[in-house]
Structure 1
Amino acid sequence: MPTPVVLVAGLHGAARTAAVEQLLADHPGSVAIHHDLREVTHGRVQRSVRDTTGVLDTAEVRLAHGCVTCTVREDLLPQLVMLAPRSALLVVDLWDSVEPRSVAEAVDCDEARDVLRLTAVLTALDAEDMPEDITRGEPLSEVGKPAAAGDRRYLAEVLARQLEYATGLVLHGGDEDDQDLSRRVLAHLAPISPIHTVHALPPVTGAALCTGELAERVDPATAQLPYDAQTDEIVTMVWRSRRPLHPGRLFEAVDELVVESVRARGRFWLATRPDQLLAWDSVAGIVSVEDAGPWLAALPEAAWDLVSPARRLAAALDWDPERGDRVQHLVFTGPDLDIDRFRALLDSCLLTEAEERAGLDAWTRYDDPFAAILTLRENV
């Protein structure tokens, strides 16, 4: 039977180490592998393997290209395959700023499936630091946590992806108030993810995960987005509409929407781009708008068989006789959000009834400030 593999991610090194040590203690015969990426920008990575007795092996890995993808492909996977026959559990202790999705999908590959089975993706979080870190917009390069040369990601951006992709979250450290605040924040940011403590970790030796299903939980077209909620000062607001958005008015509203929310995401469409499903992703004041492909309503029915069942189900749940699956579905989370003002601001970005009646020919002539951003991303 394939050896179980659990990934442990997290920007907070002490929390991650505590979770890894507990997994080793809970599962006799297990080993943990870690790649230290502090020198990855110079093409060097330090690999270590340990069990409950201490470090078993260390080596310096030199890469043709200093990046996480190369580290996984050239060293992590071969090491896991080599260690699997004599290990009860393989624990992958990911470097601080590594996002678990790419590693999970690399482990869940055809060539290793007879030897390895991915069983859990945990993100360890420091209860004292997490509520503040999700608001920090510093680049990783400025805080000493880049995962590759030229890494342009931001600290809060990486933290959001680590905790939203995981199958389980592990809180460590802090006092009772820190733990309580972290749980309240996580209930808004990742409401479907179970929260554990280091001393009560979830089972990690069961059936293999399907990384396709994990991806569908966070991909824009199928994401399981948070719902309306308020916990003391923390507010999550869901905004939905069928009407198209005016690109100019939405662009003018972006700064206010982003600055006053800590986390926002979802899918939307512009009157100038009726066939494109656009993804909105913002955290700690950093916003990204990307083309996530066509709406199903823009495709011939014969092409629907080429998309996943989850995508078809998401479209069916949002289906409208006139608009198809086109929908504005954005979710904003922040402290003391003024829900009424946010809704009014977003509603003001929709086409008016007169603009809607003018039709597509008129819409395509609107100035579209998003065009430069989307064209740039398409060419990257």
Structure 2
Amino acid sequence: MHLIVVSSLDALCRREACGDLAAEHPGSLVVFHDLLENGLVIRRVFDAAGPVEYEETILEHGGLSCAVRLDLVPAIDRLAASAQGPIIIGLPPAVPASVAVTALNRGLSRPATVSSAIIALAPDALEDHIWDPHTLFESGFTPVADDERTPGEFLLGELAFADTVLVAEPDIVPADPAGRERGLHLLRELAPHAHRAAGTIQVRRSAANAAASPFVTVVQRMDRPLHPGRFRQVLGTLAEGCCVLQGHLWVASAPECRIAIQGIGPRVWLENTGKWPEEPAATEQAGRAPGPAATVLAATGEGLDPAEFERLLRDCELTDDELAAGAVLSDPFALRPAS
């Protein structure tokens, strides 16, 4: 049994993607799964002839993972017994494909292969979603009020997980050609590993490649610890023009800890992920560590200057005098040493 999992922020993009996939796979079943307010789950099943099933269920705990585990997985297990082709699963908007794939792998009673994980989106909306400062609930993408992810966080997670990006352009929403071209360029930066497929629109690769992309990805490695005060001062400048900022930091106020950094649109956050695999021991010679301790930052944005990006980070490194002094530095980020 083969499964195709489709995730999306937008139910219209999801519907278009699932319809296109069904046309490409004769004999397939399409399962639309939706989570509404008050724990209401609606499941609709279609084949080539039309509707097959419609069912509503009220879950006591109406969370995203519960909806997948308690309703979707048993339904797929039952449908698989008579399926003549792949089952195309349209997940509820904002449900990560990784959550569904994990639940299916654990919960199905018969062998199944997820042959593709697809993110369906309209490229002209990509930038707006990334820069949206509201939560998924506040922006109306999920009924789960305590879901604090932003649309950008969801999309970046899906772009990292998916093997295919299916670009869609629902007829009901007027297209923005300039925004679509920018979105296609940005997709190539954010998901270079993913296959890009057209939905009902034609992706004019020659047109999208005719003009140079406004977006660039810069990667910088620093082998000395960063001064926490100076890094705090420049962090806003580093992130200002970045759609995405991610990597890990070696900060002098918590030198034994690997500090993850993630910036998506207007949000930037740091997290202490524990000790480095080999505890760093700065030397007087160059402040280098024998293990993997280092700062590695990747930034994707419009018109980024690699030289300026490097200069800003170099100015944050500890100097020879600061390394020799070995002073205990203040911790403006409240990074707690790993226990």
Bin the TM-score by the shorter chain. Answer: 0.7 to 0.9
Q: Which has the higher helix share?
A: 1
Provide, for residues 90-117 of structure 1, a one-character-per-residue CA deviation record: whole Å limited to 9, x for no partner. 11101221222222222222x5374322
Aligned twin of 2:251: 270
Aligned alpha-carbon RMSD (Å)? 2.6
Q: Distance in 2 between matches of 1:90 and 1:170?
A: 17
Identical-pair percentage: 30
Contact 2:6–2:117 at 8 Å: present in 1 too? yes
Shift of 1:274: 2.6
2:96 counterpart of 1:99 = yes
Shift of 1:26: 1.8
Shift of 1:81: 0.8
Given residue 103 of structure 1, which amino acid in structure 2 is its aligned partner? A
Shift of 1:296: 1.6
Q: Distance in 2 between matches of 1:258 and 1:45?
A: 39
Correspondent of 1:81 among 64, 77, 80: 77
2:115 counterpart of 1:134 = no
Given residue 352 of structure 1, which amino acid in structure 2 is its aligned partner? T
Distance 1:235 1:268, change over 3 A: same
Aligned twin of 2:142: 146
1:184-203 → structure 2 map (5 Å cutoff): 184-198=185-199
Shift of 1:340: 2.9
2:272 counterpart of 1:291 = yes
Aligned twin of 2:32: 34
Instruction: Tell me the SS of whatever aligns to 1:108.
Output: helix
Given residue 8 of structure 1, which amino acid in structure 2 is its aligned partner? V
Shift of 1:175: 6.8
Instruction: Tell me the SS of whatever aligns to 1:122.
Output: strand
Q: Distance in 1 between matches of 2:103 and 2:270?
A: 26
Q: Which runs of 5+ in 1 are unaligned?
A: 201-229, 300-319
Given residue 197 of structure 2, which amino acid in structure 1 is its aligned partner? H
Distance 1:131 1:231, change over 3 A: farther
Provide, for residues 228-250 of structure 1, a one-character-per-residue CA deviation record: whole Å limited to 9, x for no partner. xx944212211111111122222
Quick check: 84-93 or 337-346, which moved more? 337-346
Aligned twin of 1:355: 322
Given residue 264 of structure 1, which amino acid in structure 2 is its aligned partner? L
Q: Which runs of 5+ in 2 are unaligned?
A: 170-174, 202-210, 281-286
Contact 1:68–1:147 at 8 Å: present in 2 too? no
TM-score, reference length from structure 2: 0.85
1:1-380 → structure 2 map (5 Å cutoff): 3-39=1-37, 42-87=38-83, 88-109=85-106, 111-112=107-108, 114-146=110-142, 148-173=144-169, 174=175, 177-198=178-199, 231-298=212-279, 322-359=289-326, 362=327, 365-371=328-334
Instruction: Tell me the SS of whatever aligns to 2:260.
Output: strand
Q: Distance in 2 between matches of 1:264 and 1:231?
A: 22
Instruction: Tell me the SS of whatever aligns to 2:291.
Output: coil
Contact 1:98–1:147 at 8 Å: present in 2 too? no
Q: Distance in 2 between matches of 1:128 and 1:114?
A: 40
Contact 1:139–1:155 at 8 Å: present in 2 too? yes
Contact 2:74–2:108 at 8 Å: present in 1 too? no
Q: Which has the larger radius of gyration?
A: 2
Contact 2:31–2:89 at 8 Å: present in 1 too? yes
Contact 2:16–2:199 at 8 Å: present in 1 too? yes
Shift of 1:147: 5.1
Q: Distance in 2 between matches of 1:339 and 1:280?
A: 19
Q: Distance in 2 between matches of 1:98 and 1:26?
A: 24
Instruction: Tell me the SS of whatever aligns to 2:261.
Output: strand
Aligned twin of 1:308: none
Aligned twin of 2:206: none
**Which 4+ residue blocks in structure 1 deviate beyond 4 angstroms?**
174-179
Contact 2:77–2:110 at 8 Å: present in 1 too? no
Provide, for residues 192-226 of structure 1, a one-character-per-residue CA deviation record: whole Å limited to 9, x for no partner. 212111269xxxxxxxxxxxxxxxxxxxxxxxxxx
Contact 2:223–2:288 at 8 Å: present in 1 too? no
Distance 1:112 1:321, change over 3 A: farther
Number of aligned residue pairs: give it.
318
Shift of 1:176: 6.1
Contact 2:39–2:59 at 8 Å: present in 1 too? yes
Given residue 4 of structure 2, which amino acid in structure 1 is its aligned partner? V
Contact 2:10–2:141 at 8 Å: present in 1 too? no
Instruction: Tell me the SS of whatever aligns to 1:120.
Output: strand
TM-score, reference length from structure 1: 0.76
Contact 1:81–1:115 at 8 Å: present in 2 too? no
Q: Distance in 2 between matches of 1:321 and 1:252?
A: 23
